[in-house]
């Protein structure tokens, strides 16, 4: 497991922690693989009752590492599953409760993954943003239906189309996170809830989660469609301009595309 993901198990609670603070916890393929391996182990290991996904103080994750991403752009739903798809499938398939502890930046897939957690809590300095369109891409892993279903289509488009940022209070008001805490209190509050879950009847918890996620066949069809559109956008002139603008530290110019 890469050192950029820290994994630990204590009293039935597995913690998977982003540990690349110098890069704002931007996620590489190796990190996705490590996260997937942790979740796959949690799903089958009877000693694991709950999984907590957390970041470093002040930053959850800035999303994909764009340089690493460009070395092997993922085709979701294509042939061999890329590491990001393996991680997200492991998250969606995990039969144990998964809790997210968000402190600071949650960008791109850092927001998307929250839609597949069972509980999510944030610090009051957290910021949520999904700049897919700004990168000439589209929503991923069901967020095109899950976020509108959660907040309503018009409100969801603040994130998905405008690329605006939500603070923690707005994220809580729209159901993206359960509650907001001070940064120094966040993980203590999350671990308290994880301990409550870890003490409950494990099979009853698994069956309760299974009942609430029983309709995922339709969601998987959406994810495959998103992946097809995402793959097309990766080969577009728009995406090329977005990447060049990022690397050149300038605003993209889409006036000659579309």
The answer on pLDDT for 72 being more than 80 is no
DSSP character for 256?
A: T
**179 domain-assigned:** yes
Establish if 32 belongs to a structural domain.
yes
Look at 58-72, 112-126, 132-146 and tell me which has the smallest mean pLDDT: 58-72
Within a domain: 56:
yes
Per-residue pLDDT band at 2 (split at 50, 70, 90):
confident
Query: Cβ(44)–Cβ(15) under 8 Å?
Result: no
With 70 as the cut, is the pLDDT of residue 148 above it?
Answer: yes
Residue 31 near residue 53, CB atoms below 8 Å: no
| Count of the separate structural domains present in the chain | 1
| 215 or 201, greater pLDDT | 201
Residue 95, pLDDT > 90, answer: yes
User: pLDDT of 20-60, one tens digit each?
Assistant: 999 999 999 999 999 999 999 999 999 999 999 999 999 99
- Supply the angle between the helices 29-44 and 83-93 in degrees, to the nearest 10: 30
pLDDT category, 78, cuts 50, 70, 90?
low
Are the C-beta atoms of residues 99 and 121 closer than 8 Å to each other?
yes
Handedness of CA 73, 76, 79, 84 (dihedral sign): positive
Q: What is the pTM of this model?
A: 0.94
Q: Is residue 144 part of a domain?
A: yes
Say how far apart CA 146 and CA 151 lie, in whole Å. 9
Position 201 in a domain = no
Q: What are phi and psi of 119, to 5 degrees?
A: -145, 150
Q: Is residue 254 part of a domain?
A: no
Question: What are residue 64's DSSP bridge partners?
Answer: 27
Helices (H), the chain: 29-44, 66-71, 83-93, 109-112, 143-151, 153-160, 168-173, 183-198, 202-212, 216-234, 237-247
- For the chain, the first-to-last Cα distance in angstroms comes to 42
Indicate whether 198 belongs to any domain.
no
Q: Cα separation of 43 and 29, whole Å?
A: 21
pLDDT of residue 79: 63
CA dihedral 31, 184, 101, 246 (to 10 degrees): -50
The pLDDT assigned to 77 comes to: 62
73, part of any domain: yes
Expressed as residue numbers, the domain containing 58 is: 5-183
Is residue 39 within 8 A of residue 16, CB to CB? The reply is yes
CATH number at 126 reads 3.90.226.10
**Per-residue pLDDT tens digits for 81-90:** 889 999 999 9
State the average pLDDT over residues 178-194: 98
């Amino acid at each position: 497991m890469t050192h950029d993901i820290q994994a630990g198990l204590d009293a039935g609670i597995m913690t998977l922690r982003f540990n690349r603070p110098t890069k704002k916890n931007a996620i590489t393929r190796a990190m996705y693989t490590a996260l997937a391996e942790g979740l796959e182990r949690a799903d089958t290991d009877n000693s694991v009752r709950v999984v907590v996904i957390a970041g470093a103080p002040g930053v959850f994750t800035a999303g994909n590492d764009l340089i690493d991403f460009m070395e092997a752009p993922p085709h979701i739903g294509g042939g061999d599953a890329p590491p990001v798809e393996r991680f997200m499938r492991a998250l969606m398939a995990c039969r144990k409760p998964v809790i997210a502890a968000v402190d600071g930046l949650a960008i791109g897939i850092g927001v998307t993954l929250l839609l597949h957690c069972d509980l999510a809590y944030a610090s009051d300095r957290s910021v949520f943003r999904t700049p897919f369109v700004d990168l000439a891409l589209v929503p991923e892993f069901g967020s095109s239906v899950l976020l509108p279903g959660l907040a309503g289509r018009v409100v969801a488009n603040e994130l998905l189309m405008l690329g605006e940022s939500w603070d923690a209070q707005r994220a809580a008001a729209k159901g993206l996170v359960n509650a907001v805490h001070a940064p120094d209190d966040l993980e203590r509050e999350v671990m308290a809830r994880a301990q409550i879950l870890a003490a409950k009847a494990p099979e009853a918890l698994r069956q309760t989660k299974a009942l609430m996620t029983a309709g995922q066949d339709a969601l998987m069809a959406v994810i495959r469609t998103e992946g097809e559109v995402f793959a097309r956008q990766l080969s577009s002139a728009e995406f090329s301009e977005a990447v060049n603008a990022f690397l050149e530290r300038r605003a993209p110019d889409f006036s000659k595309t579309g």
